[in-house]
Amino acid sequence: MSNVARSESIPSDVITEDESGVPEDHQPVGVMHRMKRFLPKSNFSRHVIMLAGGTAFAQAVVILTSPILTRLYRPEDFGVVGVYTSLLTILLTISSFQYELAIPLPVEEEKAVNILALTIAILFGSTLVLIMAYFIWGNAFLASINAPALKPYFWLLPLGLFGGGLYKILNYWALRHKAFSEISRTRVNRSVGQIFSQLGIIFLVKGPLGLFIGQLINQAGGCGTLGMLLLRRNRSTFSFISFVGMGKMAVRYRNFPLLNTWSALANAAGSQVPNILLASLFGNYVLGLYSVSLRIMFMPLDLIGQATGQVFFSRLREAHTKGHLPMMTWKVFLYLVTLSAGIFGLLASSGDVLFGMVFGSHWYMAGRYGQWLAPWSFLCFISLPLNNLVFILERQRDNMYFQIVLMLSRIGAIYFGARLFHGPNHTIQLFSALSALFWLLYLCWLMRISGNSVRVTLEIILRESLLTLLLVLPILTIRLLHGPIWLLLFGIVLSASMIILRIQHQIKSLGSP
């Protein structure tokens, strides 16, 4: 579909074009075209699979090369990059004042293109401010967070901010026009570029530079593809751009900077400031273990959760208008719970063993961190895709309050945990437990505002958790009896097989959202 207005004026069952706008009779018969025939007929499932497919390939590249990277780079290298990534993540939430989230919302293309221009202008200004702050306060800031190892690479932060912010903006424009295949392709290119740079640069320059360059490519890669898509399909809409139009859209969607920016900033700070505190209090080695563990634990969210959330977001307005929002939200909730419970149960029961085998014996403790982070990761996997309800229902103010409380509690957990326990292990356990509790409360709130029952939501989560406990019982039994490693591996394979079979059965019985 070329734009939203067109999709509303023409019934979907008479449109005979694919996402590129080319009639099916005139499309070239290639591999991708043949593969599309095997996708589910449901538009929701097709779009999720198209987005998740590109992410799956990209994540497969990351997974396959991670055992090499963890042997080429030290935990300390991952730690210093973790501080950089945390700072960049926080800055990206405010780089365009969250106006990019409004790009898919207007029906009229004239309004949407003015929001696009507004977000790019704000991003450019944010980057200039960061460059000036870097020259004036950069050294003092690094000293204040005890991160002197980041100083040689701090100049990459403005580049990452502009590149990552621009990709985020263009991604929402592509979502507006349902260019899911193009988004999927950029995800593949970003990951491949990241991995090749990280694997190649280490042989030229020792130290974490390769990790930094790879991270930059992962943030900014894909801007060219999505930018060319914008020029090719929507260049004619540029004539609608004006300062007056941008000003009107800034006022119309003012809740995004006034409310959502602060909630997004609080959310980012709540998840990223603890990383900076871990490095400051316990050193880059601990943060390196923690950051790799966190990346692996949140890989299912990157793979499936984000794709589900983006497709869910693209259909929310129509579902809300037609009164289908409660049912659609409930189906997506069941879909997410079914996919994730077994995966995180497997990681919680055997993460330390899997990490030690895959990444090397010195990463065993990262797997132990992953076991402690599993409940939080599980609830985030369910909640974050549903978070888009906040924007459609215009509950940004409530969301902001929640994110601020969550941020303060999580930062407090790291700070006071370090003071109380004098070590990273119990501190991370306290942090994960508190995070899981707050995300469970947040999920219940999302289900309530969507018109669903909180009690039934909790019953579903409890039921799936207990069933998952039964599925990983072979692993727990062997570990309790201190069985040999070969028997433990057999238990892991057995539990994983049962989990996969159950997911397949449940997804088939649920159908598509």
The verdict on residue 20 lying in a domain is: no
pLDDT, one tens digit per residue, over 280-337 is: 999 999 999 999 998 888 877 666 766 666 666 667 767 777 777 888 888 888 888 8
Residue 396 pLDDT greater than 90, yes or no = no
Helices (H), 95-208: 109-144, 156-176, 180-201
Mean pLDDT of 91-99: 95
User: Which stretch of 309-323, 386-400, 481-495 has the lowest confidence by average pLDDT?
Assistant: 309-323
Mean predicted confidence (pLDDT) in 206-233? 91
Q: Supply angle C-alpha 35, 184, 260, rounded to 5.
A: 145
Q: CA separation (Å) from 23 to 7, 49, 50, 427?
A: 15, 22, 19, 58
Mean pLDDT of the chain: 84
pLDDT at 55 over 50: yes
71-81 average pLDDT score: 94
Note down the domain range covering 210.
42-253
Least confident of 86-90, 148-152, 297-301, 427-431: 297-301
What span, in angstroms and rounded, lies between the C-alpha atoms of 24 and 94?
41
Residues in the chain: 513
Q: Where are the alpha helices (DSSP H) in 283-363?
A: 284-297, 299-300, 306-322, 325-359
Q: What is the pLDDT of residues 187-205, one digit of tens each?
A: 888 888 999 999 999 888 8
Tens digit of each residue's pLDDT (9 = 90 or more) over 250-261 = 999 998 998 888
Report pLDDT digits (tens) over 329-358: 888 888 888 888 988 999 999 999 999 998
Distance set, CA 425 to CA 25, 77, 247, 371 (Å): 61, 20, 50, 12
CA atoms within 13 Å, Cβ hemisphere of 47:
25
> 296: burial class by Cβ within 10 Å (0-12, 13-18, 19+)?
buried
Question: Rounded to an integer, what distance in angstroms lies between the CA atom of residue 437 and that of residue 288?
Answer: 25
Q: Identify the CA nearest to 184 among candidates 271, 306, 289, 17.
A: 306
Q: Is residue 259 part of a domain?
A: no
Asked if 354 and 487 sit in the same domain, the reply is yes
Domain co-membership, 291 together with 235: no
Report the DSSP beta bridge partners of residue 470.
none
- Cβ-in-10-Å burial (0-12, 13-18, 19+) of 315 comes to middle
pLDDT at 180: 81
Nearest alpha-carbon partner for 158 in 224, 82, 222, 219: 219
Average the pLDDT over each of 48-52, 281-285, 499-503 and give the range with the smallest value.
48-52
Whether 304 maps to a domain, the answer reads yes
Predicted local distance difference test score (pLDDT) of residue 436 = 94
Reported as type and span, the H/E element at residue 485 is helix 485-510
**Rounded-to-integer distance, Cα 262 and Cα 316, Å:** 23
Segment 129-170, tens digit of pLDDT: 999 999 999 999 999 999 999 999 999 999 999 999 999 999
**Domain check: are 238 and 122 in the same one?**
yes
Is residue 361 located within the same domain as residue 221? no
Q: How far apart are the first and last CA of the chain?
A: 21
Mean pLDDT of 220-244: 92
Strand, helix or coil at 198? helix
Q: Please give the tally of structural domains in the chain.
A: 2
Whether 353 and 218 map to the same domain: the answer is no
User: What pLDDT is attached to residue 411?
Assistant: 92
Task: Decide if 54 is inside a domain.
Answer: yes
Share of the chain above pLDDT 70, in %: 85
Looking at the fold, whether 233 and 359 belong to one and the same domain comes out as no
* Distance in angstroms (rounded) separating the CA atoms of residues 336 and 381: 7
Domain check: are 300 and 404 in the same one?
A: yes
Mean pLDDT of 100-120: 95
Give the model's pLDDT for residue 4: 34
pLDDT tops 80 at residue 381: yes
Prediction pTM value? 0.76
